[in-house]
Amino acid sequence: MLIALLAIFAGLALLVWSADRFVEGSAITAGHFGMPPLLIGMVVVGFGTSAPEMVVSALAASQGNPGLALGNAYGSNITNIALILGITAVISPITVHSQVMRKELPILILVTLLAVWQLLDGSLSRLDAIGLLLTFAVLLAWSIWSGMKKPDDPLAGEVSAELNAHAMSIRKAVFWLVAGLILLIISSRILVWGAVDLATAFGVSDLIIGLTIVAVGTSLPELASSVIAARKGEHELALGNILGSNLFNTLAVVGIAGMIAPMPVAGEVLVRDLPVMAGLTFALFVIGYGFRGPGRINRAEGTLLIACFIGYTAYLVSTTFGQ
């Protein structure tokens, strides 16, 4: 068990570090090739921070651990909204001026409902996975189209400032892109092995490990980037990281895992985890959309989100080890 714990912590540390290098290299490489800053913020940064979830869930699915694959994806969504966005709002209340971000909030609601509807039969089939990936492709195309129409969106200015602050040569950027991806795969294999071994040692399902330790660990890149962005006053970028990550997790991460290996969906996911994820997503829409002006997530709302995360995690632990 000690070796499994060491593997998890070592895997998470390397995963977070390599994910940061991968996102930075990808963003700067995209900038060198002329991709508009708004698209870099929405596509490269927002989705790139979900690379840990994608690699971990894909490996878990290929190794026959469906609970870990789904728990990582949905647990990360819960962590992103309740813990990361909560902490970010407590540090610096988030004001949303970006029209693109406000459009993505209701889309995230619809995507979440689609995910719930697809899993109601208790399984994730390849047909379900294809539907998720096609939806992701359509949304990605829509994001690109919307971004090209709004080059002066507030998010574009924040991303442009970040790229200028981390300027590096194209050769170095490509190196970190490739090296970061390779290290992501290596660290994910270490993490998955440790997580499965730990679940076996404690006699709990890999779903619980995926929803807790692995989900929080793979969400650390979003925590770091969102907190840093919020402290700099880059509110659109902070929220964009969360929205992009949750869209990517719900559609691409689960879709890729389902394509690799169709899997059964545990009853607990349907009656416990998906309702919590859907409820938090709806809450984010209500408090962050801004129906009569810019959306705003204040410190009180951030504290409430953190309390929701603590309560959910406490419930998982008490019901798991109280049996």
Indicate the Cα dihedral angle 62, 74, 246, 315, nearest 10°. Answer: -150
pTM assigned to the model:
0.84
- Distance between CA 96 and CA 75 in Å, rounded? 25
Q: What is the DSSP letter of 214?
A: I
For residue 282, the model assigns a pLDDT of 92
Q: What is the DSSP letter of 205?
A: -
Torsions phi, psi for 124 (to 5 deg):
-115, 105
Q: Report in angstroms the alpha-carbon separations of 60 from 25, 48, 64, 71.
A: 26, 19, 6, 10
For residue 148, the model assigns a pLDDT of 66
For residue 165, the model assigns a pLDDT of 62
Number of Cβ within 10 Å of residue 140's Cβ equals 17
For residue 275, the model assigns a pLDDT of 94
User: Collapsing DSSP states into helix, strand and coil, what is residue 98?
Assistant: coil
For residue 162, the model assigns a pLDDT of 63
Residues of the chain short of pLDDT 50, as ranges, are none
Q: What is the DSSP letter of 212?
A: I
Which one, of 36, 40, 42, 15, lies nearest residue 27 by Cα? 40
Any idea how long the chain is?
Answer: 323
User: Token pair 């869209």 is at which residue?
Assistant: 247
Which one, of 234, 235, 236, 239, lies nearest residue 161 by Cα? 234
- Distance between CA 228 and CA 61 in Å, rounded? 33
For residue 103, the model assigns a pLDDT of 76
CATH number of 2-321: 1.20.1420.30
**pLDDT (tens digit, 9 = 90+) per residue, 73-108?**
999 999 999 999 999 899 888 877 666 667 778 888
- Distance between CA 66 and CA 53 in Å, rounded? 14
Domain residue ranges in the chain: 2-321
For residue 150, the model assigns a pLDDT of 63
